[in-house]
Structure formats: structure tokens, C-alpha cells
Amino acid sequence: IYDRRTFQIQHVFQHPTAKTVYKSDAYDPEGTLGTLTSIVQVWLGVQTGVTMLVYPRASSRLKRWGVWAVTTGICGAILCGFSQTGGWIPLNKNLWSLSFVLVTNSFALILLSALYFVIDIKKWWSGAPFFEPGMNSILLYVAHQVAHALLPWHYVFGPMRTHFTKLVECLWGTSLWVLISVYLYQKKIFWTL
């Protein structure tokens, strides 16, 4: 409502994907209020990074990430009433709602902690095949934006209206980019800013 009144209806996104679920009108996902929740998410990311810099012991890092994960997860769950479409602030990726930011931050911290334990502490896994894409992440991002609708990344078989068909297409495209990043890494080609 705030963005519609501030920017006028003709300057706001007209076809939200959440329209059928939330019965919403036009809204601006990158409007003023959406920017505030993005700031919260960036701040939570900074806290995660500061933990890496300030606390040298792995156990200290894991404890702090665990506390942050539980805190943000519980706060997000309370805001959405422990359901996807309920509560004071429902989980809504399109609006980048506060509950969405808190819950996804919680899951991200849990995943980060698990990977940190497995890769850096126990050395059970090297992190492959994610190391090579990380060495050329900017190049992969730009190349994906340019080539995402081209063969061999994008193809059409059937109506492409199910989650499964989109999943197969996304897994195929991601696999191709991983192979390209491995090739670039082996040739020592790195594109950085």
C-alpha cells in the first residue's frame, strides 16, 4: 500500500506471481519497504562474516551461528504463525517479507555450519564441485544472464509447466556451468573485479 501511494500504481509491478495465493494487488518488490528487509538481510550476513573474523576457534563460530540460526528461525516462525501463509507477516519471497528473511537466514546459517563442520573442521569433503564455480562466480553470473535462454542451457520439451520439468532444466543448466567453471579453473582463467 505504501509503495502504491508513494510511486503511484502505474509505476508499480502489475503482475505479481503471488497474486493467486495472497490475492494481492500490484506491488513493488524492490520498493521502499522491500529495501528495509534487504538491509536486515545484509546486516545478518555481515554478522556471520564478523563471526568468522573475530572468533578464531571453530567451536566459537559454530556456537554463535547456532544461536543466530535458532533466534532468527524462531522469530521468523512466530511472525508467520508457524505456517507459510498465516501469521502477522506471512512468508512471502516476492515481497521479501521480514519472516522470509529471518527463516531463510536461519536455514542458511544451518547449512553454513554443517558445511563448515564437514569441509573445514573434519575435512571429510573438499567442497568440490563448488570450489571451481566460486573462483569465477562473477563470470558465471554474467554468462548465465546472457545465455540462460539459449541452447544448450534452455530447451523446451512439452508444456514445461511442472516443477519437475523446470527442475530438470535448472539442474542441466547448472551442471553445464559447473563443467565450464572446472574447465576455466584448469586453464587458470579467472575473471575478477
> Are residues 180 and 112 both part of a single domain?
no
Cα three-residue angle 98-106-22, rounded to 5 degrees:
40
User: What is the reported pLDDT for 165?
Assistant: 86
Last residue of a domain, one of 121, 143, 163: 121
Identify whether residues 47 and 97 lie together within a single domain: yes
Residues 176, 106: one domain?
no
Q: Is residue 126 part of a domain?
A: no
Q: What is the CA radius of gyration of the chain?
A: 20
Mean pLDDT in residue range 12-37: 72
> Would the pLDDT of 3 be above 80?
no
Would you call 145 helix, strand, or coil by DSSP?
Answer: helix
Distance between CA 32 and CA 37 in Å, rounded? 9
pLDDT band at 11 (very low <50, low <70, confident <90, very high): low
One domain for residues 63 and 154: no
Please give the Cα distance from 178 to 33 (Å, whole number): 36
| pLDDT tier at 87, thresholds 50, 70, 90 | very high
Is pLDDT larger for residue 116 or for residue 151? 116
Of residues 22 and 127, more confidence is placed in: 127
Within this chain, do residues 73 and 106 fall inside the same structural domain, yes or no?
yes
Structurally, the chain folds into a number of domains equal to 2
> Which pLDDT score, from 0 to 100, does residue 142 have?
94
Residue 136 belongs to some domain of the structure = yes
User: Residue 191 falls within a domain, yes or no?
Assistant: no
Which of 72, 93, 121 lies at the terminal end of a domain, its last residue? 121
Domain endpoint, select from 92, 121, 150: 121
Same-domain status, 105 and 138: no
13: containing domain: 2-121
Helix (H) / strand (E) containing 36 = helix 32-54
